Amino acid sequence: MASDRWHSSGSSEDGDEGEPIASLPVGHAQDIDLADDDHFHDECGVFGIWGHSDAAAATALGLHALQHRGQEAAGIVSYDGEHFHSHKALGLVGDNFGSGSVIRTLPGSVAVGHVRYSTTGGTVVRNIQPLFADFEFGGMTLAHNGNLTNALALRKALVRRGAIFHSTTDTETIIHLVATSHYSTVVDRLIDAMRQLDGTYSLVAITRRKLIGMRDPYGVRPLVLGRLAGAYILASETCALDIIGAQFVRDIEPGEIVVIDDQGLRSVRPFARVPRRFCIFEYIYFARPDSTIDGRNVYEIRRRIGAELARENGVDADIVVPVPDSGVPAAIGYAHESGIPFELGIIRNHYVGRTFIEPSQKIRLLGVRLKHNANAARLKDKRVILVDDSIVRGTTSVKIVEMVRNAGASEVHLRISSPPTTHSCFYGIDTPDREELLAATRSIEQMASFIGVDSLAYISINGLYRAVGEIGRDMIRPQFCDACFTGDYPIRLTDQIDAEPAERQLSLLEEVP
């Protein structure tokens, strides 16, 4: 084993076996969950930089721009040519990486960072990424966006062979596969590991000599390449390049590995080509609207989805009102196409993450009112078209509609800028079990009655594909992953199919209070 020294600060590797998030001071991720608990949650954002004198500061800014991809925890690992340095903490990037004193503990011209919303493994310190390990070839640290669908099967096999896992994230499986690979170079070991994995990954790693980026063969999750003066940057979305003034170069291609070192950048494509299946929900909700992914600007796509929605599901009304913030671009598109005026009939409190609420059921029921308030002056006696991006359990929609009616709206018509969400995601998005999804168990009419609207309509799957620039959905070879709307999962769900429910538990350690 090499002897890269491992310096950590903050709450990272200090033997703390997992301070639960509930014991954080007020104003952290628990509040955000309460306010936002009826959406799918993107679970991670990654950022890596090579060759910049302020690598850790640039990474902190990049993670700040990616905060929408995960608010439970954040971590940065830097490398100064001799030592790796780490700082990880539960909570938001700004709260944990906003001070110069923290950034000064992360010296070096190379860094990698991660923001997390957990899909596997609980919200505990030992699960915060980037993960680090000492290998035969030296240290390597790794940040992963995605979800491995055969991680449990692989983990069981590795444990049988003597591997000892320290976290309950699927990402640690990659570490063990790299450690036990018989290949000699780090890139070949990573390729060897990835060949054994099913699932989705956009991954950024640093070793003592390289910055490495990888995107799974289907390209389900995004990853882009940027330049800032002489530095190379890898990030989940282009908004993370914009914040530091970096130039967008290109998307990392599905199945591509980029290796960056002092000689520059080289690209490797070691996997058999499969049809790309980028997550179409990134365009609907997950990605930031100012990002551009695979050549499509997210805001423009959302406007076009709204226009398609208006063409497919028009209704006589006085105003179009978005459910802020995610419904805004689609509502603009809907209003423009229909000629019905756009109004901010609901105002969002952007500081709800700073409330002092306790997670009791009574307060939970107040969640939406803490986050949104009706703009009664605009809603009174109006026939309202409400535009939202999705309905998960329907609990938030019920409260929003009730609030709009209480403000005096004479009719409420709900229009949704995604098809009905009928299936869970296993590819890196946190979703409830299928039976909890409103659209999985009820007809449109039943949902309309449950939510309390005069009418409810969704964009069709073909309308969605048209909005992203396709003629329609290719039923034989769909151009995107749309499994949460169609049940057509492009990547085998090994652990879901093969593991007994009891086996899916990764650890007997208490994780969540």
Residue 78 CA to chain centroid, in angstroms? 23
| DSSP tally for the chain: helices H, then strands E | 20, 26
Residues 28 and 96 sit within 8 Å (Cβ to Cβ): no
Place of tokens 């800032």: 228
Nearer to ligand SF4, 226 or 428 (CB): 428
* Minimum distance of ligand SF4 from residue 202's CB (angstroms): 12
Question: Whose Cβ is closer to ligand SF4: residue 338's or residue 390's?
Answer: 390
Instruction: Give helix 151-160 / helix 171-180 axis angle, nearest 10°.
Output: 40
The bridge status of strand 429-430 relative to strand 41-42 is: antiparallel
Cα 286 from Cα 380, distance rounded (Å): 32
Taking the complex as a whole, the smallest distance from the CB of residue 483 to ligand SF4 amounts, in Å, to 4
Active site residue: 44, 239, 425, 484, which one? 44
| Backbone CA torsion sign across 251, 199, 271, 49 | positive
Decide: 371 and 400 in contact? Cβ < 8 Å: no
What is d(CA 140, CA 120) in angstroms, rounded to the nearest whole number? 22
User: Which CB sits closer to ligand SF4, 146 or 327?
Assistant: 146
Give the nearer residue to ligand SF4 in terms of CB position, either 33 or 43.
Answer: 43
| Nearer Cβ to ligand SF4 (238/390) | 390
**CA nearest to 180, candidates 191, 193, 171, 170:** 193
Quick check: is 44 catalytic? yes
Please, what is the end-to-end C-alpha distance for the chain in angstroms?
37
Nearest CA-CA partner of 289 in 48, 65, 37? 65
**Interface residues toward ligand SF4, by CB under 6 A:** 220, 279-281, 425, 427, 429, 481-484
* Catalytic sites, residue numbers: 44
